[in-house]
Amino acid sequence: MSRNVLLLPGDGIGPEIVAEAEKILHAINEKFDLKLTFDTGLVGGAALDEADNPLPDDTLDMARKADAILLGAVGGPKWDALPMAKRPEKGLLGLRSNLELFANLRPAILYPQLASASSLKPEVVSGLDIMIVRELTGGIYFGQPRGVRQLESGERQGYNTYAYTESEIRRIGRVAFEAAQQRGKKLCSVDKANVLEVTVLWREIMNELKSEYPDVELSHMYVDNAAMQLVRAPKQFDVIVTGNMFGDILSDEAAMLTGSIGMLPSASLNSEKQGMYEPCHGSAPDIAGKGIANPLATIISAAMMLRYSLDEEKAAAAIEAAVNKVLDQGLRTADIMSEGGTRVSTREMGDAVLAAL
């Protein structure tokens, strides 16, 4: 049984970091005889440049057929002035919605070797291990109607729609409850139910689901309070579940608590566990092409891919162990560099992980 992995390097540092992850995947493929085949496709700005479309049909076809996708990052100032439909981000959003990748898992984990990189006090973040479950194919990202219209007064009004149906809430809720069951059994649902009707429904459905998961403790928190609590005492959280927009904000905030966003992977899954895997960080156009980007988040995303979509726990664990080893050896790209570390390039970091395998 052969399985296919689609590589989508994308923009900015994307190609550099995906190249390193690809090296690791090729090696692990041989070592564990995984029978993985690989394809590469265009997405985002790279696809706009080549095919005037951030998500070419080719790419979408390959994505549909793939068992899993590894994405670098999309976007950059080069394409910022384009109209909404022609933005690199539409490539990413199109993949998410076409493949119905509704469940976005974003761990925020503090690597003990990198504790000093955090802007928070060590006692506040040491041992941090949060899982943010973000709904990814609904909410205000995809709500209709949307646009900019002319009012009778003559002035323009921009508008978007934040909407969720019961079933959309239920399916992401289930993913979150199940994640909590496999972890610390605590789930915090984040909403703004004191102001937004859509999140009143969200809260109601989460409460309803609770009865199916008697072993999970469910709490609710307003999004403004959650943004505060993440700064004040992040270790109070185990699993957080929230909608697309709040999840975008809170998962980035949570990732930054660790100080090493260059280390954090993410998974976007559909109901068949087909998934797209990508680093939490963006395309970092300012350092693209310099060979200094940290490839570890992408390499760890590849490990997550092996675990969740390809059911290759051993291979995943081997990659994670190799990453830990290079961290123990003191190897550091610029973003995670600190006193006593040995500074390495993107490629050197990839090579070191390869050697550690």
Ligand X SMILES: CC(C)[C@H](C(=O)O)[C@@H](O)C(=O)O
Look at the block and give the residue holding tokens 């900015």: 12
Binding piece for a second copy, criterion CB under 8 A, among 22-30, 250-258, 286-294, 318-326: 250-258
Identity of residue 267:
A
Binding flags for ligand X, 69-108, as an x/- string (CB under 6 A)? ------x-------------x--x----------------
| 346 vs 245: CA distance, rounded Å | 31
Q: Is 291 annotated as a binding residue?
A: yes
Using the minimum distance from each CB to ligand X, give the nearer residue, 90 or 307.
90
| Residue 253 binds ligand X (CB under 6 A) | no
What is the rounded distance in angstroms from the CA atom of residue 294 to the CA atom of residue 197? Answer: 41
Residue nearest to ligand X (CB): 89
In this structure, the strands spanning 239-242 and 265-269 are unpaired
Q: Is the previous residue joined to 145 through a cis bond, with omega within 30 degrees of 0?
A: yes
Task: Give which of a second copy, ligand X, none residue 257 binds (C-beta under 5 to 8 Å, depending on kind).
Answer: a second copy
- 3 appears as a binding residue in the annotation: no
Q: List the single partner that 87 binds among a second copy, ligand X, none, CB under 5 to 8 Å by kind.
A: a second copy
Catalytic residue among 111, 141, 277, 308: 141
- Regarding 111 and contact with a second copy (CB under 8 A), the answer is no
The only residue of 30, 224, 272, 328 in contact with a second copy, by rule CB under 8 A: 224
Looking at beta carbons only, is 86 or 314 nearer to ligand X? 86
- Is 108 among the residues that bind a second copy (CB under 8 A)? no
Tokens 């690809």: give the residue: 22
Assess whether 248 carries a catalytic annotation: yes
Nearest residue to 190 via CA among 120, 106, 236, 247: 247
Element (H, E) at 256: helix 244-257
Query: Shortest Cβ distance from residue 54 to ligand X (Å)?
Result: 11
Buried b (16+ CB within 10 A) or exposed e, 218-254: bebbbbeebbebbeeebeebbbbbbbbbbbbebbbbb
Residues with Cβ < 8 Å from 327, sequence gap 6 or more?
A: 111, 113, 114
Secondary structure of residue 39 in the 3-state scheme = strand
Which residue is it, tokens 């395309």?
283
Active-site residue numbers? Answer: 141, 192, 224, 248, 252
Q: Which residues bind to a second copy, rule: CB under 8 A?
A: 75, 84, 87, 89, 93, 119-121, 124, 140-141, 143, 146-148, 151, 155-167, 192, 194-202, 223-225, 227-233, 245-246, 248-253, 255-257, 259, 261, 282
Q: Which residues bind to ligand X, rule: CB under 6 A?
A: 75, 89, 92, 194-195, 224, 248
* Binding site, annotated residues: 76-89, 96, 106, 134, 224, 248, 252, 282-294
